[in-house]
Amino acid sequence: MRRSMVGTGLATLAVSIAAAVMAIGATPADAAVGGSGPYPADYETSSSLPNHTVYRPQSLPSERMPIFVWGNGGCAANGTGQINFLREISSHGFLVIANGAPNGSGSTSSQMLTQSIDWAFAENSRSGSKYYGRLDTGHVAVGGWSCGGLEAYAVSNDSRITTTLIFSSGLLNDADDYQLKRLTKPIAYFIGGTGDIAYPNAIDDWGKLPAGLPAFMGNLNVGHGGTYDQTNGGEFGRVAVLYLKWRLKGDTTAGANFVGPDCGLCHTQWQIQQKNLTLGDDTPPSTPLVTPSTPSGTPGCSAAYTVQNQWSGGFVAGVVVTAGSAAVNGWRVTLVLPGGATITSVWNAVNTGTSGTVTLANQSYNGQLAPGQTAGFGFQGTGAGGGATATCAAS
């Protein structure tokens, strides 16, 4: 009963937020053009992705950009509603895609988040695109605020998504708890404290997460409205950048803000909860910093295997495939897992087998690689992930 009542209040508040967001428009008075990161960012639109807003560094970084797709507060179709927050994230070397056109009106759906990922993957593979080979398709995050957080939940089982961020949101009905049970990738909650109308729902979700799932929750006493309109997105913008740097770029210094009893956010104004979080030295660096293993098998590609997260009873691992001196039309990685390890889910590849010697082949969207270009895939498994070997064959 409590959850149903809170859900009604959250839905009502979401409508109010949507109206406020559309009234604010694209340039709040305290907007900080470009964000605080090393890559000043702005937004654009694309005719091939209607009703979306794409935030990108004005000058693309030399490193490949991870992807972050976003659902707005109130499920409002205004892609510039949280402009300060999203531009701040992009300025640290991320491609950010928000539901809704700049200053758009109307409402959005979770399907629009999937459209954002589809578009980014297609642009990364399209030779005429400014993003050709510039996106890190092995590291994709989905997030959203309030009603947008519900959209993020709805697509969090997409095999291409490597982490989910929920801002001031929680499932409205117990009938939707199946969305929690299917979570297999790390998740983080950033909530506005006990005064946030979504707080009871978020806490209820937290208690129902699958055993062993890496999860973080931070509560900051700012209420449901968050800090998105503050300069550079305020404190929510700061911690979102840190989390994405950790999970999508392998920045363990940023990750130390979330892991352990003396984490960087611990003993601050944030109230912290943690589940199954480890930092370690096995967090993967961003794609261009990965040194591929020595090619073996059929010449033409190499495969570099990394354990990204290990916890008691399970792990998440990633593999980066790198084409050799000639273009390839497809690739196949043979992975020899350590004894007792079993794959439970795979993203960005198609697997044959789940234990022992496993074959993982490209998907339709990431098989064609230019000379030296990379593609990434990942998987979650039970047991210990260390000690696996990977070899690559190209066609």
In this prediction, residue 372 has a pLDDT band, given cuts at 50, 70 and 90, of confident
Task: Using the structure block, give the residue that is written with the tokens 């010449």.
Answer: 299
Kindly state whether residue 282 falls inside one of the protein's structural domains.
no
Strands 163-167 vs 95-99: parallel, antiparallel or unpaired: unpaired
Kindly state whether residue 128 falls inside one of the protein's structural domains.
yes
pLDDT of 368 reads: 84
Kindly state whether residue 283 falls inside one of the protein's structural domains.
no
The pTM score is 0.70
pLDDT of 284 reads: 42
Structural domain containing residue 64: 2-275
Bridge partners for 139 per DSSP: none
C-beta separation of 235 from 222 below 8 A: yes
Kindly state whether residue 22 falls inside one of the protein's structural domains.
yes
Residues 271 and 299 in one domain: no
Residues 262 and 385 in one domain: no
Q: Which of 222, 251, 275 is the last residue of a domain?
A: 275
Least confident of 123-132, 183-192, 280-289, 308-317: 280-289
The total number of structural domains that make up the chain: 2
Kindly state whether residue 284 falls inside one of the protein's structural domains.
no
Tokens for 223? 């209420």
Kindly state whether residue 29 falls inside one of the protein's structural domains.
yes
Residues 345 and 387 in one domain: yes
pLDDT at 19 over 80: no
Kindly state whether residue 285 falls inside one of the protein's structural domains.
no
Contacts of residue 304, Cβ cutoff 8 Å, sequence gap at least 6:
290, 291, 292, 293, 319, 320, 322, 390
Burial of 375 (0-12, 13-18, 19+ CB in 10 A): buried
Helix H or strand E segment including 318:
strand 314-323
pLDDT of 3 reads: 54
Which CATH number covers residue 325? Answer: 2.60.40.290
- Reading phi first (left if > 0) and then psi (alpha if -120 to 50, else beta), residue 137 is in alpha
Q: What would the pLDDT profile of 28-81 be if each residue is shown by its tens digit?
A: 333 345 899 999 999 999 999 999 999 999 999 999 999 999 999 999 999 999
Q: Which of 249, 275, 301 is the last residue of a domain?
A: 275
- Reading phi first (left if > 0) and then psi (alpha if -120 to 50, else beta), residue 130 is in alpha
pLDDT of 278 reads: 92
Helix H or strand E segment including 124:
helix 111-125
Kindly state whether residue 266 falls inside one of the protein's structural domains.
yes
Rg (CA), the chain: 20
Closest of 16, 27, 31, 119 to residue 75, by C-alpha: 16
In this prediction, residue 25 has a pLDDT band, given cuts at 50, 70 and 90, of very low
Buried b (16+ CB within 10 A) or exposed e, 15-51: eebbeebbebeeebeebbebbbbebebbbeeeeebee
Residues 346 and 369 in one domain: yes
Helix H or strand E segment including 392:
strand 389-394
Helix H or strand E segment including 349:
strand 349-352
Q: Which of 229, 246, 275 is the last residue of a domain?
A: 275
Contacts of residue 35, Cβ cutoff 8 Å, sequence gap at least 6:
41, 87, 88, 89, 90, 91, 92, 232
Residue 81: how many other CB atoms lie within 10 Å: 34
Residues 157 and 9 in one domain: yes
Residues 370 and 239 in one domain: no
